[in-house]
Amino acid sequence: MITIVVRAAPLALAALLASLPAAAQETAPDTATAASDSTWREHYEAGEAARRAGDWGTWRYALVRVREQIGYHPSIVLNLARADARLGRTEDAVEWLRAYAATGLTSDVAADSALESIRSAPGWDAIAERIAANARPVGAAQVAFTLPDSAFVPEGVAFDPRTGRFFLSSLRHGGIATYSPAGGWTEFVPPRRDGQWSMLAVAADTLTRTLWATTAASPLFSGYQPADSGRSSLLAYDMDTGALRRRYEPQGDGRHTLGDMAVAPDGTVYVSDADQGVVYRLERGATEMEPFAAEGLVSPQGIAVAADGRRLYVADYVRGIAIVDRQSSEVEWVQAADSVAISGVDGLVRAGRGLIALQNGVTPKRVVYLELDAAGRTVTGWRALESGTPLLTQPTHAVVVGGELFFIPDSGWERIGDDGAVKPGMVLEPAHVMRMALP
């Protein structure tokens, strides 16, 4: 993730789809129901009102409508199991749980009061055991290097093949550091030198020797001022000297959080704005970013350029993964079975014909490989590359270097509260960069 403030939008929206279990009846005509042509958010809100009123039939109806519009979010699958259990639809509830188990995610279903009525149903024991087993650690990634400063709190990572240096951005200090096995650690962009705040994503354009970085004002930044809240910028640095070449501001009023980005082969930079639900485009040589894609996007995060160069994959923290045509800016969505969880994705990189997603909005936290069909539009298979391992506490961004993936598993941003102070009972510890072979 990026920061508490930067992530406030995706976290709040993801919470929309993670309601609590409650108590039961088939219908309640006096509970408001959203119109059939309402948006998924309106359906969700109507469903939550019904859930709080104990109107399980209307809650289920709303969940189905949400699912029709945004796909099988894992929280929808789990809540449909809860709603059907409350309604006495035991077989349906068990099938929803079976689908949830297949996502590789975990939940304490044995202690979930909404599911109490189906615990003696055929298949329950095997499903509950599988959901519990999903919490077991998976993976064999190795530590590539460790950051020397426990308060650095990294978010983004990039690589320069010419010099062999890794670039890491700091949420806490607001600077950028470099690391190489030969040269060790070096300060690349000093904190606050260029009026920056928390430094988020970094991306290397080796042709123009430009290191792109996004920055946003957030309480994670040690120099945060409330008056700066909602401000964000895209910065272009000379990759060799660290000098700031140019600063780009997003257009439009309101809060902005320029978080993740990707550089296309032609040098065009695409930047996601988690607050505005838009992807900006900055063409090589242009002086301003322009809004590029927004239709249907809720909280865009990581961006990866497709192998054909004509499309972008954009991780939406709530909805899954969008496909954006680079010419028309038209948005469609990667299709996946209800047993595939592709929400809660922060970092996203392409690996061959597939995608590698870093999910910090699911339990357990994980790094997954998503196999795509020949058209690049449907997930045909998936597997966890790293899941639930001790260091995988808050995975953020990754970069492909040769045949390996280097990623940040434990940024540490979740240890800092909205007031900018380390949360009681927690301490900041040195973060790591891990490495694993590409699938």
**Pair (368, 433) in one structural domain:** yes
pLDDT at residue 251 in the model: 83
Residue 4 pLDDT more than 70?
no
**Pair (115, 144) in one structural domain:** no
Residue 27 pLDDT more than 60?
no
Please tell me the least confidently modeled range out of 63-72, 184-193, 295-304, 346-355. Answer: 63-72
Average pLDDT over residues 172-199: 96
Residue 281 lies in a domain: yes
**Pair (270, 347) in one structural domain:** yes
Residue 214 lies in a domain: yes
**Pair (184, 197) in one structural domain:** yes
Residue whose entry in the numeric block shows the structure tokens 């280097």: 406
Residue 270 lies in a domain: yes
Domain count across the chain: 2
Residue 171 pLDDT more than 90?
yes
Structure tokens at 266: 């032609």
pLDDT at residue 231 in the model: 96
Residue 1 lies in a domain: no
Average pLDDT over residues 406-424: 94
On the CB side of 26, CA atoms within 13 Å amount to 2
Residue 9 — very low, low, confident or very high, per pLDDT cuts 50/70/90? Answer: very low
Helix (H) or strand (E) holding 399: strand 398-401
- The sign one gets for the Cα dihedral 11, 428, 167, 282 is positive
CA distances 142 to 136, 146, 324, 328, 430, Å, are 18, 11, 34, 41, 16
> Cβ-count burial of 305 within 10 angstroms (0-12 exposed, 13-18 middle, 19+ buried)?
buried
CA distances 397 to 78, 109, 365, 378, Å, are 28, 31, 13, 23
CA distances 419 to 158, 258, 422, 428, Å, are 29, 21, 9, 15
Residue 33 lies in a domain: yes
Last residue of a domain, one of 133, 157, 191: 133
**Pair (82, 193) in one structural domain:** no
**Pair (207, 107) in one structural domain:** no
pLDDT at residue 281 in the model: 98
pLDDT at residue 32 in the model: 61
In sequence order, the 6+-apart residues with CB closer than 8 A to the CB of 166 are: 145, 157, 158, 159, 178, 179, 180, 399, 406, 433
Last residue of a domain, one of 133, 153, 185: 133
Please state, as a whole number, how many other Cβ atoms lie within 10 Å of the Cβ of residue 402: 10
Last residue of a domain, one of 106, 133, 160: 133
Average pLDDT over residues 101-119: 96
Residue 348 — very low, low, confident or very high, per pLDDT cuts 50/70/90? Answer: very high
What single string gives the DSSP state of each residue in 110-172?
Answer: GG-GGGGGGTTSTTHHHHHHHHHHTTS-EE--EEEEE-S-TT--EEEEEEETTTTEEEEEETT
Residue 31 — very low, low, confident or very high, per pLDDT cuts 50/70/90? Answer: low
* pLDDT tens digits, one per residue of 194-213: 999 999 999 999 999 999 99
Please state, as a whole number, how many other Cβ atoms lie within 10 Å of the Cβ of residue 181: 10
**Pair (120, 171) in one structural domain:** no
pLDDT at residue 34 in the model: 75
Residue 24 pLDDT more than 60?
no
Structural domain containing residue 433: 138-437
**Pair (394, 421) in one structural domain:** yes
Average pLDDT over residues 171-175: 96
Residue 124 lies in a domain: yes
Residue 12 lies in a domain: yes
Crossing angle for the helix pair 124-133 and 90-102, nearest 10 degrees? 30
Residue 126 pLDDT more than 80?
yes
Residue 253 — very low, low, confident or very high, per pLDDT cuts 50/70/90? Answer: confident
Query: Has this prediction a pTM greater than 0.75?
Result: yes
Residue 399 pLDDT more than 80?
yes
Residue 28 — very low, low, confident or very high, per pLDDT cuts 50/70/90? Answer: very low
Q: Are 401 and 365 in contact (CB under 8 A)?
A: no
Give dist(CA 246, CA 23) in Å, integer.
Answer: 57
The dihedral formed by the CA atoms of 420, 424, 428 and 433, expressed in degrees to the nearest 10: -90
Residue 23 pLDDT more than 60?
no
Q: What percent of the chain has pLDDT over 70?
A: 92
Give dist(CA 434, CA 344) in Å, integer.
Answer: 20
**Pair (37, 155) in one structural domain:** no
pLDDT at residue 21 in the model: 34
Q: What percent of the chain has pLDDT over 90?
A: 86
**Pair (246, 127) in one structural domain:** no
Residue 360 — very low, low, confident or very high, per pLDDT cuts 50/70/90? Answer: very high
Q: Are 142 and 435 in contact (CB under 8 A)?
A: yes
Residue 30 pLDDT more than 90?
no
Average pLDDT over residues 286-312: 95
Give the CATH number, domain containing residue 177: 2.120.10.30
Average pLDDT over residues 335-349: 94
Give dist(CA 93, CA 99) in Å, integer.
Answer: 10
In sequence order, the 6+-apart residues with CB closer than 8 A to the CB of 300 are: 260, 272, 273, 274, 277, 278, 279, 314, 315, 316, 317, 322
On the CB side of 14, CA atoms within 13 Å amount to 23
Q: Torsion-angle region of residue 184: left (phi > 0), alpha (psi -120 to 50) or beta? A: left
Average pLDDT over residues 281-306: 96
**Pair (100, 28) in one structural domain:** yes
**Pair (19, 156) in one structural domain:** no
Task: Name the DSSP letter for residue 228.
Answer: G
Residue 411 lies in a domain: yes
